[in-house]
């Protein structure tokens, strides 16, 4: 749904847009981690919240870095799948 959708570089533009979005969201997670978020509270769905989960900046930063690696990895896999769609369709059908 953009101006590059009918060009030869549409897949590359989508890859770069997805990577940019993941980087911005990771920066948001890092900013939230540095704001000293409140501890998890018990609720109906989670009566005993984990004690160690997200209680320090280090655990939030580990989550943010894992999110970055997974997000970029997923975007790259989707790029390779869409770029080689003809080959994949030839293999399976």
pLDDT, one tens digit per residue, over 11-35 is 899 999 999 999 999 999 999 988 8
CA distance 45 to 66: 25
Domain ranges of the chain: 18-92
From residue 2, give the alpha-carbon distance in Å to each of 7, 8, 9, 15, 56: 10, 13, 12, 13, 40
Torsion sign, CA atoms 81, 71, 4, 9:
negative
Which helix (H) or strand (E) element contains residue 14?
A: helix 10-33
The pLDDT value given to residue 47: 87
Q: What is the mean pLDDT of residues 80-89?
A: 92
Q: What is the fold of 18-92?
A: Photosystem 1 Reaction Centre Subunit Xi; Chain: L; (1.20.1240)
pLDDT higher than threshold 70 for residue 71: yes
């Amino acid at each position: 749904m953009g101006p590059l959708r009918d060009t030869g570089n549409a897949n590359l533009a989508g890859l770069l847009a997805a990577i940019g979005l993941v980087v911005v969201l990771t920066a948001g997670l890092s900013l939230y981690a540095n704001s000293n978020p409140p501890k998890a509270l018990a609720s109906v769905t989670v009566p005993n919240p984990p004690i160690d989960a997200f209680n320090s900046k280090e655990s939030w930063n580990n989550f943010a870095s894992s999110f970055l690696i997974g997000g970029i990895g997923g975007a790259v896999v989707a790029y390779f799948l869409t770029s080689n769609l003809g080959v994949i369709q030839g293999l399976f059908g």
